[in-house]
Amino acid sequence: MNRIAQLTFIAALSFSSQQAFALSVSEIAQKISTKQSEYDNYNSDLDAQIALANNLEKDLAELRQNVTLADADRQSALIEMNMQYEKVIDDPELDITPARSAYAKAVRTHKAIKDAITDKYNEWQTKLQDVEQMQVSKHSLLNTIEGLKEQYNSARVDRLYKEFNRKESVVVSHKITCDKDETLSKCTVRGKALAKQKASKRFLDSVFDGLSEAVEAEKRRQTSDASVQVLRSEVADSNFSGQGNYNVKMNLELQGNLKRTVGCELLGLDRRYCINFKGQEVTQVAAIAPTLVTDESVMYELTVRSNVFDDEVFINGVSYGSTKLQVMLPSGEHDIEVVKRGFDSSRQTISLTEPKTIKVDLNRAQYTFSKGERIQDILAGDIPGPDLVVVPAGSFRMGDITGLGLENERPVKTKEFKQSFGISETEISVQAFETFVNATSYVTDAEKEKGCAFYEDGKAVWQDDRNWRSPGFVQTDQSPVVCVSLNDAQAYVDWISKASSQAYKLPSESRWEYAARAGKETDYWWGEGVNTDNANCGWCGSQWSNVSTAPVGSFERNDFGLFDTVGNVWEWTTSEQNVNSAVVRGGAWNFAPRLARASTRMELDSTFRSNYIGFRVVREQ
């Protein structure tokens, strides 16, 4: 097995949510420690390989300079030899062996350098492929570590749940003084109740003291709902003394009463480790306002047409869908408004006294950006472009602000944007990408050769028949397009720029993070913890987690109005640190929550594609 293959296989760990057997907390902790050591060593190996690739590139450049000089020497030797041959015509005795030898040597030298260039180039390309594979394997290994951490926290909750909810038989004795106005019966009941309370308190204290993470749980004990359940109780002995004291001895069977959600609270963990998630389909029924009419007994057909498609018709303030529209309305006056993003709306009042057809011509609108505005360019052929939101000008701190990130997120830098810009509110969908493909007959890198990578057993595995149309899971038109390389994403950007006559591009890293943070300095735009069902990432608690992408816009917008800046798919951005490197941001449906933070960055080769990478676009003023 070669060196790269060996390095790749260090990431081999299944991330299936159904494990064949459960590991203990200590066993998982040991695995994390082992994998972390491998990751640290892996980084060193990767840096060494990158350095070797850079040295090979320098050697290649030097050889190319040398071959130029060698070619000049060869040409000079050829000229000298030809001159000597001409002299032989006049002087047959002339010895031209030195000239011929010099030319032959120059030819050999030139050829040797050219052969060395070929060998060095092949060696350089092989090393670049090694580096690319190592970069992918590095991030797979990192996800392995993060996946183990998810298992570790779940195992901590499992352990706490088992330790806390144990049963125990307890014997307790208690003595109380009966009040002078209290009947013996009431004193007996009170004595028994206090005995149960005493036993429960002692048992609860012993449960907390006996926890593996007793110190951590004790910090939050006072605010938790942890309790004790009395399963069985019986009086073993009881009596009254002459001084009015009641003595009772009781046998009890007690059990800790801890819900899993409370377990997360005691350990200071995100609630997602303590909830079983089931996807629920929510259906919203829009209420239709009553139509304003003058005579409800007479109905006429109204037909509305426009010069564009995918518009929206409002009649008396109620949406009736897009044109061509035919609807029955009561006679009388009606307000008709036709709207479409990217066009000036048309509004008129009609008096309906007979069947009527109205034709509406919408004119393109000239947009100027304003904060929070939602815009959409209309492309050539009246094709709708991506829905965009305007991100305001401003500054922010970029990078590992919270100190929980990776080395490549540091140092933290302040970035400033003097102008607002538009950015697609969602990742580019399958439907939008298909529109581009149909308009241009574009063929993606995955369809040309090698297919698309998917994540299996802790590493990226290539499969020839996987591409943006068939990524390995069921898609809808509104799923984010995946299995696209940076080159594919750039091709889409070039097309939409030309089709809209506007300046589109892929977001830079700083623009992406600025838009994703939406003014926040926490790891996620809603706060520090990923919590539950806020995003589609591995172990994030949604119905799609570790299964597939979610339809774009399935979760809440951030404060700038963007969907899915956390999870769903990694998004291609252009690197500002290295012009020859591409970076994906935002995490994905099968990557751990820690890798979906606002500052997480993953460097990849621009030709890499997988079923967990997509993109969104930026539009200039």
The band of 287, judged by pLDDT with boundaries at 50, 70 and 90, is: very low
CATH at residue 318: 2.60.40.10
| Residue 404 and residue 391 share a domain | yes
pLDDT of residue 227: 76
Question: What are the Cα distances from residue 21, in Å, to 155, 481, 546, 549, 591?
Answer: 12, 35, 19, 27, 22
pLDDT interval class at 366 (50, 70, 90): low
* Domain limit, last residue, from 115, 144, 162: 162
- In terms of DSSP bridges, do strands 245-257 and 378-379 run parallel, antiparallel, or are they unpaired? unpaired
- Indicate whether 386 and 460 sit together in one domain: yes
Tell me, yes or no, whether 475 lies in a domain.
yes
Q: pLDDT band at residue 286, thresholds of 50, 70 and 90? A: very low
CA dist 238 and 236 (Å) reads 7
The string of pLDDT tens digits covering residues 97-144 is 888 898 899 899 999 999 999 998 999 999 888 888 888 888 888 899
Render pLDDT for 164-173 as a digit per residue (tens, 0 to 9). Answer: 999 999 999 9
Choose the final residue of a domain: 107, 138, 162: 162
Overall domain count for the chain? 4
What pLDDT shows up at residue 521? 94
197 and 244, same structural domain?
yes
150 and 183 assigned to the same domain: no
Residue with more model confidence, 237 or 577:
237
Which pLDDT score, from 0 to 100, does residue 288 have? 32
295: pLDDT strictly greater than 70: no
Please choose, from the candidates 107, 104, 121, 108, the residue with its C-alpha nearest in 3D space to the C-alpha of residue 64: 121
Quick: pLDDT tens for 58-89.
999 999 999 899 888 888 888 888 888 888 88
Residue 363 near residue 486, CB atoms below 8 Å = no
Cβ atoms of 457 and 8 within 8 Å: the answer is: no
CATH number, domain of 136, equals 1.10.287
CB 566 within 8 A of CB 512: no
| % of the chain beyond a pLDDT of 70 | 89
Distance from the first to the final alpha carbon of the chain:
53
Residue 396 lies in a domain: yes
Q: What's the rounded Cα separation, in Å, for the pair 555 and 544? A: 12
* Chain mean pLDDT for the chain: 85
Claim to verify: residue 390 and residue 506 sit in the same structural domain: yes
Q: How high is the pLDDT of residue 201? A: 80
Which of 72-76, 217-221, 441-445 shows the highest mean pLDDT? Answer: 441-445
CA-CA distance, 449 to 442, in Å (whole number)?
Answer: 14
**For residue 271, pLDDT beyond 90:** no
pLDDT value of residue 289: 35
* pLDDT recorded at residue 96: 84
Q: What is the pLDDT of residue 303?
A: 84
Which residues are registered as beta bridge partners of 170?
252
Backbone angles phi, psi at 33, to 5 degrees: -60, -40
Per-residue tokens: 215: 């110190």
Confidence class for position 369, pLDDT limits 50, 70, 90: low
Predicted local distance difference test score (pLDDT) of residue 222: 77
Shared domain for 200 and 124, answered yes or no, is no
Q: Residue 110's domain spans which residues?
A: 14-162
190 and 82 in one domain? no
Q: Judge whether residue 221 has pLDDT over 60.
A: yes
Q: Is residue 232 part of a domain?
A: yes
Half-sphere exposure of 464 (CA within 13 A, CB side): 1
Same domain, 97 and 220: no
**Is pLDDT at 592 greater than 70 in this prediction?**
yes
pLDDT over 70 at 344, yes or no: yes
What's the pLDDT at 342?
64
pTM of the model: 0.67
* Residue 366 included in any domain: no
Within-domain flag for 80: yes
Tokens (6 digits) for 319:
């949406």
* pLDDT average, residue stretch 470-478: 96
User: Does residue 287 lie in a domain region?
Assistant: no
Say what the pLDDT of residue 276 is. Answer: 63
* Average pLDDT, integer, range 449-458: 88
Residue after which a domain boundary falls, among 162, 188, 209: 162
Greater confidence (131 vs 242) lies with 131
Q: CA 395, 582, 489: angle at the middle one, nearest 5? A: 95
pLDDT computed for residue 254 by the predictor:
86
Residue with tokens 């060869």: 74
In this prediction, residue 268 carries a pLDDT of 92
508 touches 617 (CB < 8 A): no
Residues 173 and 157 in one domain: no
pLDDT of 292 reads 36
Residues 6+ apart with CB under 8 A from 388: 374, 375, 376, 377, 422, 423, 424, 425, 619
Assign 300 a pLDDT band (cuts: 50, 70, 90): low
Output the six-digit token pair for 107. Answer: 């030819």
Grade residue 579 by pLDDT with cuts at 50, 70 and 90.
low
Write the CATH number for 438: 3.90.1580.10
Q: Is 454 inside a domain boundary?
A: yes
Residue 286 lies in a domain: no
Based on the fold, state whether residues 476 and 601 are members of the same structural domain. Answer: yes
Q: Which range among 50-64, 366-380, 390-404 shows the weakest confidence by mean pLDDT?
A: 366-380
Looking at the structure, tell me whether residues 299 and 157 fall in a common domain: no
582 with 518, same domain?
Answer: yes
